[in-house]
């Protein structure tokens, strides 16, 4: 890998693609050239990067000549088709979709947790985990290192931007319609999301869990190297614009304590302790939006399960849950 690689962003016109641009610029990523790729509909749009305008090009099978790193954020179908093409052309693909996450030859990487995994990528593809999985494990990995994680009971509170721009638009329109006394329209979600919560993210499986809920189980096992990790999760869509929140009860091999947990977070990269309930200090979505760090608070010993702590974790799912994590992987390369 050259010290100043030629980087491409696939899906450069989307929300995560745009956030990747921001992260590359803010972190002064040492690239030699930047190529922006998207669908024919977006081709021709101009984007400013480091004071210069770059024209978005149409994504084709010939787009990856001389590309060193390709950041993919255009959906699973695009990744499945063009990811192997980019990898065969010599680029290392960092993919934000679920297309390759469970492939045994594709590392699944959170740089603060398992950075060494990014260095072994025999298919020239590295996968970005699911956003809720990243945010949850950012909070639990420091505890795992101290106490030995064996199980997770989690509920997620997921912002509408997790559904893309249309989720934001639908929430906005429904709030406006309520204010004006007009009829509510539902297109993105099966129920009204304004003034409501919906315990339904992704499609339901035969088990009764959704695919989103199962991701925390399978991806958590792979990232932490814990094939026997037990996870039960309920994912809920909430009327919040951006940043996901997770309530997690973590079960450990060793008896944890709140004091030791606090100490574990003191030097943990990418995670910040916000935990003074008497002063109403705890993580909330607005405090993480547009920020790199995930926040953790409400740390307390669980009153039902032995060797367990219950915590509250919040992070920007567009940034650390997607774009920033991908750029951090590129920095490892």
Please give the positions annotated as active site: 131, 244
- Beta strands per DSSP E along 141-221: 149-158
Backbone dihedral angles phi then psi of residue 188, each to the nearest 5 degrees: -80, -45
Tokens, residue 270: 């990418």
Q: Quick check: 199 and 236 in contact, CB under 8 A?
A: yes
DSSP 143: H
Cα 122 vs. chain centroid, distance in angstroms? 23
Tokens standing for residue 163? 């559904």
Query: Helices then strands (H, E): number in the chain?
Result: 7, 14
The full length of the chain comes to: 333
H or E segment at 202? Answer: none
CA angle 167, 26, 10 (to 5 degrees): 55
**Sequence-ordered alpha helix ranges (H) in 50-182:** 76-88, 131-147, 165-180
Q: Measured at the alpha carbon of residue 164, what is the angle toward residues 290 and 286, in degrees to the nearest 5?
A: 30
161 in Cβ contact with 238 (< 8 Å): no
């Amino acid at each position: 890998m050259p010290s100043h690689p030629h980087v491409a962003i696939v899906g450069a016109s989307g929300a995560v693609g745009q956030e990747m641009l921001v992260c590359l610029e803010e972190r002064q990523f040492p690239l030699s050239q930047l190529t922006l790729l998207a669908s024919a509909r977006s081709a021709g749009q101009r984007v400013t990067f480091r004071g210069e305008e770059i024209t978005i090009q149409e994504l084709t099978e010939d787009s990856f000549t001389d590309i060193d790193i390709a950041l993919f954020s255009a959906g699973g179908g695009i990744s499945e088709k063009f990811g192997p093409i980019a990898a065969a052309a010599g680029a290392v693909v960092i993919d934000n979709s679920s297309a390759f996450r469970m492939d045994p030859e594709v590392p699944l990487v959170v740089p603060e947790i398992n950075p060494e995994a990014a260095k072994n990528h025999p298919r020239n593809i590295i996968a970005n985990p699911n956003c809720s999985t990243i945010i949850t494990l950012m909070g639990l990995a420091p505890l795992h290192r101290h106490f030995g994680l064996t199980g997770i009971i989690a509920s997620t509170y997921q912002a509408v931007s997790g559904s893309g721009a249309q989720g934001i638009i639908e929430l906005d329109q429904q709030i406006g319609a309520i204010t004006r006394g007009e009829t509510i329209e539902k297109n993105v979600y099966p129920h009204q999301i304004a003034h409501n919560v919906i315990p339904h993210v992704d499609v339901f499986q035969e088990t009764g869990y959704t695919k989103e809920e199962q991701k925390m189980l399978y991806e958590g096992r792979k990232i932490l190297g814990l094939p026997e990790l037990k996870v039960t999760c309920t994912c809920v869509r909430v009327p919040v614009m951006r940043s996901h929140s997770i309530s997690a009860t973590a079960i450990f091999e060793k008896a944890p304590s709140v004091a030791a947990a606090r100490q574990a977070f003191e030097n943990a990269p990418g995670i910040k302790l916000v935990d003074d309930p008497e002063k109403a200090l705890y993580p909330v979505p607005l405090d993480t939006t547009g920020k790199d760090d995930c926040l953790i608070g409400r740390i307390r010993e669980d009153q039902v399960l032995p060797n367990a702590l219950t915590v509250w974790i919040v992070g920007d799912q567009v940034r650390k849950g997607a774009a920033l994590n991908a750029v951090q992987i590129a920095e490892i390369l």
